[in-house]
Each structure stands twice: as structure tokens, then as C-alpha cells.
Amino acid sequence: MKKNVSLRNAIIAVVVTNIIAVAVILYAPIPFIGGMRLVTGQEYDFLQKFGKMIMVKSIVEDRYVDKIDTQKMIDGALRGMVSNATDIYTQYMDEKEFKEWTTQTKGSYAGIGVYIEPKDGRIMVVSPIEDGPAQRAGIKSGDYIIKINGEEMTSDDMNKAVTLMTGKEGKKINLIIYRPNVGNKEINLVTEKIVFKTVKSKVINNNIGYIRITQFTETTGDDFNKALDELLKKQVKGLVLDLRDNPGGLLTECVKVADRLVGEGTIVYTIDNRNQREEWTSRPDKLNIPLCVLVNEGTASASEIVSGAVRDYKAGTLIGTKTFGKGLVQDLIDLRDGTGIKVTIARYYTPSGECIQGKGITPNIVLPLPEKDKDRELKVEEDIQIQKAIEVIKSKL
């Protein structure tokens, strides 16, 4: 009896697949030749695989010893289809993951306050969010997250890791991190509301402006312009822009920042899989005081766009250590059912035509922080990179 049910379901699956195949053949936007619809070999292979997938789903649902979570099976199939054919940044996200990911460019969310990226098959911390639970616990750029709540993590578990480390306030999180040249360390955290205040500014050394940007969210560009205008009203003689441990964010916002710094020209351009070029340009007016930009291994993506434009136009001096090296652009696509897909759509290039993917940007002045200073909050007078920036700016006055 059970075998007959399985056979019946398999037959239904094949019939459904054939209906879909006919629909694709009749209505898909593929060229006609001589009035006849042609199906490529690749399309035909895909339809066969699609039919097999439906058959497998039907058989497993019918014969598996325990109850099957069908939605989980479908999500897994979609996730696998994307991850097995693309780079590490292109990912399918279920409803929970998609909601959490889109929240990260908004005003706030509940979590431990850490930005992560896949690297070398593992999950690497690009940067902790300033004054978040992760930073207060001593987590820093370059750490690798090995386990979360006892579960081993690899680069394939990025979405799962985000889900485990976010959620309601007060959730207890146990991490095992690996720090190069140090070893493993266990850290216990509690999630809390992370409020994004991405731009902070002040006057240092009596007459030098200092602006720190922690990431690029929807308000960062406007907040930066307000902060810069306030500093200029105070007649600062130079500017230190701190992009250390800035993991990036929205391209539109980093362009607003670069527009104030580099003068007229191309800030960044992208090239997609059709070799189509899109570029973002800046206006002629620019900052007319000496500029230094602080960068490190946690400076990634959108913050590298700003750094690359400043470097290429010689609009300022980059100080610190080599940046992360992410020269790929992702688009977040809402699939209209609560799920989404983050897909790499282009490579970006600095004004000089360099794609820094996997290479990063080497600053004009390479100056790493001493090991003893990497795990603690530094005052301006203790921070040798800020002090070097002050020295460089003074030399240009």
C-alpha cells in the first residue's frame, strides 16, 4: 500500500513537472527561430533536474520515518541552489534571516553587536559595534567565531550565525572564538538593543576636527555632513576621518561622504556580468583643509570606497593597516513572501580602475597599533594612529 502511495506521488510529481516544463517552453522569454520555440540544452537539463527534485521531495515526505518539515526542506533546497553556484556573499534567506538582515541598515536591532563575514571557510569578525556587548567583552576585528551555543560554525553557516546572535533582548549567547596567535577563548554575552549612531565628532588637539563613522546606514551621509559643517564652523584646521573597524553598508551613503572630500570626478564605478558600467561622481567643491583617514583590517566594503577615492585623488593621507578587501557589490532582493536573496551583482572599482577584492588597500603610512592597545578603549593621546594623523596634518598647515 505504502509503495503504491509513493508511486502515485512520484507520478503526480512528474506530471506537475511536465506541466511546468510546457509552461516554460510556451511562455519563457527566449527567442523564436522560424516561428518555432527553441529550448536550449541547458534549459532542458534544468527541467529534468527540477523534476527530479520534486520526485525526491515527494518520496522523502511519504517514506521518511519521522515527520518532515516541508518548508525547511524547500528553504534548504533554495539555499543550496544559491550557495553551490555562487560566491560566499550570495545567500538565500528565510523569513527570519531576511528580517534580521534588513534590520541592520535601519535604526536599531537586538543582538550582541558584531559584524561578520565569511573568510577562509570560517566566520570572521569584521568589527564589533562600538559600545555593544561584543566590544565590551573584548571581541575584536580578526577574531573567528568557532562555536555559538555549542554549535560549530563555518562560512556556510553565516545566516544561521546571524540568527543565533540576534533576537529578543536578554538572550544568552555563548561563543567560542579563535584569535590568531592567541588561541580559543570562551565568551558569554547577553543580547541587548543595539542603536545605530554611526557618526561621532569632536575637536581634538585644540583645532583639528575628528569624525568617526562606524558603518554606513540610511542616515550616515546626512549625519556626516552635519558633523562636518559643525566642525568647519568652529574653524578647525584639519580633519581626521576614522574608518577603522567600519564594515561598510550602503553605497549611496558612502558616496555622500566621499563627495565632500575628493573634488570633481568619479568616486567609484561598478561593472556587472553584462559588462555594463555604472558610476557615481562627486561635485567640484571639496574639503579645503588637510585630511587624514584612519583604516585597518576591519575597514571594509563601503568604507573602502571612501578610502580608495581619497587615495586615488590624493585628497588625504591614509594611515593604519591594510583594509579588509571587499570589492563586490550586493543587492538585497525581496522575494515577496517574507524571504529574500542577497546576490553579488557587480565588482566595484576605485577611480584609478583598481578592484580591491581580496587585496585591500595599503595605507600611505603603515602604522599598526601595539598589541597592548588592541583590546582596550584608547584616549586620543594614547592612540598612536590618531597622533600620527595630527602630526601629518600639522606638517601641512
Residues marked active site are found at 301, 312, 326
Contact 152, 309 (CB under 8 A): no
Q: How many residues does the chain have?
A: 397
DSSP string, 37-96: E---HHHHHHHHHHHHHHHHHHHHHHH-SS---HHHHHHHHHHHHHHTTS-TT-EEE-HH
pLDDT at 5: 47
Q: Exposure of 105 by Cβ count < 10 A (0-12 exposed, 13-18 middle, 19+ buried)? A: middle
* 56 vs 238: CA distance, rounded Å: 65
Domain range annotation of the chain: 2-68, 108-194, 196-395
Among 183, 180, 125, 186, smallest CA distance to 158 is for 125
pLDDT at 270: 97
pLDDT at 26: 42
Q: State the cell numbers at 10.
A: 512520484
pLDDT at 31: 44
C-alpha to C-alpha distances, 116 to 47, 180, 341, 394, nearest whole angstrom:
36, 16, 18, 36
Find all residues with CB under 8 Å of 49, minimum gap 6, and list them: none
Find all residues with CB under 8 Å of 173, minimum gap 6, and list them: 112, 148, 149, 164, 165, 188, 189, 190, 191
pLDDT at 27: 43
pLDDT 10s digit of each residue in the chain, 397 long? 444 544 455 555 555 555 554 454 444 444 444 444 455 666 667 667 777 778 888 888 888 888 888 888 888 888 888 877 678 888 888 887 787 777 666 666 789 999 898 888 999 998 888 888 999 999 998 999 999 999 999 998 988 898 899 888 999 999 999 999 999 999 999 999 887 789 999 999 999 999 999 999 888 999 999 999 999 999 999 999 999 999 998 999 999 999 999 999 999 999 999 999 999 999 999 999 999 999 999 999 999 999 999 999 999 999 999 999 999 999 888 988 888 998 999 999 999 999 999 999 999 999 999 988 876 778 999 999 999 999 999 999 9
Q: State the cell numbers at 196.
A: 545605530
pLDDT at 12: 52
Q: What CATH topology corresponds to 196-395?
A: 2-enoyl-CoA Hydratase; Chain A, domain 1 (3.90.226)
- One-letter amino acid identity for 106? K
* 266 vs 350: CA distance, rounded Å: 8
* 393 vs 387: CA distance, rounded Å: 10
Burial 327-339 (b: 16+ CB within 10 A, else e): bbbbeeeeeeeeb
pLDDT at 106: 63
Q: What CATH topology corresponds to 108-194?
A: Pdz3 Domain (2.30.42)
pLDDT at 136: 92
pTM, to two decimals: 0.71
Contact 335, 341 (CB under 8 A): yes
pLDDT at 2: 44
Helix or strand run (H / E) with residue 122: strand 122-128
Give the orientation angle of helix 251-259 with respect to helix 302-312, to 10 degrees.
30
